Every structure is written in structure tokens, then in C-alpha cells.
Amino acid sequence: MDVVVLDPLFGGRPAASADRSALNSVFGKPMADIGLAPRLLAQTALNEVRRHADGLPPESEVVIRAAELFATEELEGEAPEQYARRVVLSTGLTAAAVARAVEDVVTQLGALPSTTAAELPATEFGQGFRTRWVPRGKVFAAVLASNHPAPNATWVQALFHGYGVLVRPGGRDPFTPRRLIAALLAAGLSPHKVAFLPCARGVGEFLLKEADRGIVYGGERATAAWRAREPVAVRGPGRAKALLDTDLDDAVTDHLVRSVAFDGGVRCNNLSAVLTTRPVAGVADRLAERLSGLPVLPVTNPDAVLPAVSRDGARQLRGQVDALRAELKDHSGQFYGGDFLVELADGSFALRPLVLSADRPGHSMVGTELPFPFVVVAPWSEQDGVGPLSDSLTLNLLTGREDLVERAVRETGVRKITRGLVPPWATAPGIPHDDNFTQFLLEPKGVVSKSHSTSEQ
């Protein structure tokens, strides 16, 4: 593909930057020449967005139309197929995963009216008494990662509720937010409501500090400093877990394999740990055998299910995995010859699934996440309590014990529960992903339009 040039954008105008960054594909070939916004340019964009941020939301039809354009139309000379291929080659996600991500974005944006209604309580309290939900500020900043395109829907949700938005894209996927912005502008969004700001990490932190509300995605290192800052929503490692308190029959095995490997294991809600009351070695071996059968194909192949990385990415991951194997038992190597990295003819490295096991539920590496199908199996018993099940974006309970379900629901470190053979990402409007994002964006204000004697006393 041709090398695409992407510069910062605000006020509907690109702003050429002398600071440039080259983005290479998983093949090691140049894909994009990206202009990075220095702090002064970011400040200028912030000032413009704030100056035009009136708190008024666009018409719902603008966002819904933008979702359709994003998925189906040529935007700024880029066809949907070109966009999808760029994301595949820059991130190492499979073509099927990117296609599903586009569907996810369209679904989430189309559901924003119903999601809003489901996440906000009633507003009418009798004649003359009501609550209005309004933005908690004027400017929203999004600092994104590149593991999956779907989280871009969160900053569009802020736009939907009336914020002016500053978007700092992930380093490997500037294409998704840039295309979404093009779709929003084509659908009629005011160009002063949104800015696209590729930039260094420090400039992204500046945007989060200066905005009224924000969201940050990334690993523990990127997100840890923001967890104590109420105006910033943190989307760090998911550490999704399953408690296997039943026999590992074919249906349960199928469910766990899919929960680990769906979309190449890159989602924040893919399972990264299975704690079990059954023999750990048997569970780990069965999962490893089944996962080892997933086909090894280039990510551009429509049948590919495993992600890929570049040579440099492979080198980094090998070091991480070697450190894990030194502490945990490897159950996957016996099924495919020991190496989870497979060099393909195109120069990329496919990432085979990896199943390791620990000797205790509290092992520090239980919950480790890697950007491919990776899971640690560990023992669990009643004496361990719900503590080892905590620190989970999603906890899948495969148990018939109602008391354990109730204890897990009340555990503060568990954000969402799924029961039985339900995938960790299953949801519906109103089901929180990680707390109630609508109420994070909006606050209630009372509006009283009729006096009553009781209220005047």
C-alpha cells in the first residue's frame, strides 16, 4: 500500500508538523508518515475546541449517519477496504477481527440513545419537578491504545453528549480515529468540536490534565498514574478470569477456548486466567491441546484467527514469555514444538496460543496479559476465598454455587459477572463495561418550575 500522510487536525483543517514519526507494518515496511503535535500545537487545538465547546449535543442522526459512513463509504479518498487493510497491517489484528470491530463501532454508536436511556435513572418527579443530565465539563480528552479499534466509540459517546473532544490516537492505529472524524464531519458535525492529535506520551498526559473529563487506555505503566484522578476514566489491563468449578466437558472446553482466543486474544475481556477446583495440569493440558489446533495464517487471510507482530515485536514478546516460563509451567510447547512464534513468508510473526500454569491462585503472574491468546491456569479452593478472583474486568463463573455468585458480585474488584457458557464480552445497552460511563460524562441538575408550599418552608 502507498504510504499515507497523517497530520494533526482541528477546526476541520490539517496542521502540518515538522515532528514526524514513521509507522511500519507487521511486515516491517513503511505504512504511514505521521505528524506529531508538539505541546504548543496541542495547546492551540485545546484552546480552539474549548472556545467552541457549548455543551450542546449534536443531533443523534449525525452520529448514527457517521457510523454508516465509517463502515461503508469512501472518506477522504479512502475506501472501507483500504482502511481495514491498513489497520490489519499496522496492528497485526486479523482481517476478521477488524471487520468485527467495524461492526462493533457501528452497533455501539447506533445504540447510544438506548444506552443513555438505560444508564440514567428517571427524570420526572411530579408536575414541575425534574432532573436534567448535562455534561460535567466542556472538553473531553481521549488517549487511546491500539489493541482494538472498538474503544474509539467512547470518545464519540462524549461528542454525542455535547463535549468538544481531543483525540490522541494509539501509536499503531491512527487510522480508526482519523476515519471516524472524517465520517463525523461528513455527517455534519461542527469541525470545531473535535481534534485529532497524534503526539508524544507527555503531550497526551498534558491533554488529560487540561481537559474537564478524559479517558486513557493502555497497560499498567500507562494508566497507573491516573487511577486516583476522578475526572479520568482508566481502561487498563482487563485481567478477565474464569472460575472453573465444574467438569471440563466438550461444551465447557469450547467456551473457554473461544473466551481466550476470540479476536486473537487482544480484547481487554479475553480470558487471561482460569482458576479451577479441578486438577490444574489436566485443565491446562486440555486447553493447550485445543488452542494449539488454531491455524497459523497471515493476518490478511480471511480465515486467520491469530494475530501477528513485526520482527521487533517478536523479539520483545520472546523476552516476556521466557521470563514467564521461568516461573510457570508451559503446557503448550508439547503440542507445537516449543516455539509460540512462527515466522511467516511475509516477514511477520504469527503468535500461537500459550497456556501456562501456576501452583497457587495468588501467584503474581496470574492475570498477566499478553497481546495474543494467553492464559494461566491456577488452583482454587474454598479456603482461598474470592480474593484471587478479584481485579477482574469480567469474571466468568462456571459453578452452580449461588453463594459464590453472590460473594463475587459484592467483591469490589470485580467489574462484571458472567455465569455459565456466556462469553466475557456479552452485553446489552445499560450493562456497564467498567462502571457507568454515561454517568461519568453527565451529572444531574434539578429543575423546579412550580412552587409548592412544602418546598417553600
Provide the b/e sequence for 287-314 (b: ≥16 CB within 10 Å): bbbbbbebeebbbbeeebbbbbbbeebb
> Is the residue at 432 inside a domain?
no
Instruction: Give the integer Cα–Cα distance in Å for 191 and 377.
Output: 49
| CA 191 from centroid of its chain's CA atoms | 26
Pick the last residue of a domain from 199, 216, 236: 236
CB 145 within 8 A of CB 138: no
> Looking at the structure, do residues 213 and 245 belong to the same domain, yes or no?
no
Cα–Cα dist 271/261, whole Å? 8
Residue 213 lies in a domain: yes
In this structure, what DSSP letter does residue 75 have?
B
- Asked whether residue 245 falls in the same domain as residue 227, the answer is no
Asked, for residue 396, whether it belongs to a domain, the answer is yes
Q: Which residues contact 295 (CB under 8 A, 6 or more apart)?
A: 303, 304, 305, 306
Enter the pTM of the model.
0.94
Residues 211, 258, single domain; the answer is no
- In this structure, is residue 434 part of a structural domain? no
In a domain, residue 92? The reply is yes
The verdict on residue 252 lying in a domain is: yes
Are 390 and 272 found together in one domain?
A: yes
Binned average pLDDT, 10 residues per bin, the chain of 457 residues: 93 95 96 97 97 95 97 97 98 97 96 94 85 95 96 97 98 98 98 97 96 95 89 94 96 98 95 98 98 96 97 96 96 90 96 97 94 98 94 95 93 94 92 91 91 49
Considering the domain architecture, whether residues 244 and 206 belong to the same structural domain is answered as no
Question: Which has the closest alpha carbon to 359: 329, 325, 391?
Answer: 329
Beta-sheet strands, E only, within 236-348: 240-244, 271-276, 308-309, 329-330, 341-343
Q: How many domains does the chain have?
A: 2
Which amino acid belongs to residue 199? C
Residue 33: enclosing H or E segment and its boundaries? strand 30-35
Angle of CA points 86, 88, 90, to nearest 5°: 65
**Does residue 430 sit within a domain?**
no
| Whether residues 176 and 108 fall in one domain | yes
Q: What is the pLDDT of residue 451?
A: 62
- Quick count: other Cβ atoms within 10 Å of Cβ 29? 13
Indicate whether 395 and 246 sit together in one domain: yes
Rounded to a whole number of angstroms, the CA Rg of the chain reads 23
* Amino acid 455: pLDDT: 46
Answer yes or no: are the C-beta atoms of 194 and 28 closer than 8 Å: no
Do 205 and 78 sit in the same domain of this protein?
yes
Domain span holding position 150: 4-118+135-236
For residue 126, give Cα distances in angstroms to 119, 227, 445: 21, 39, 16
336 and 264 in a common domain: yes
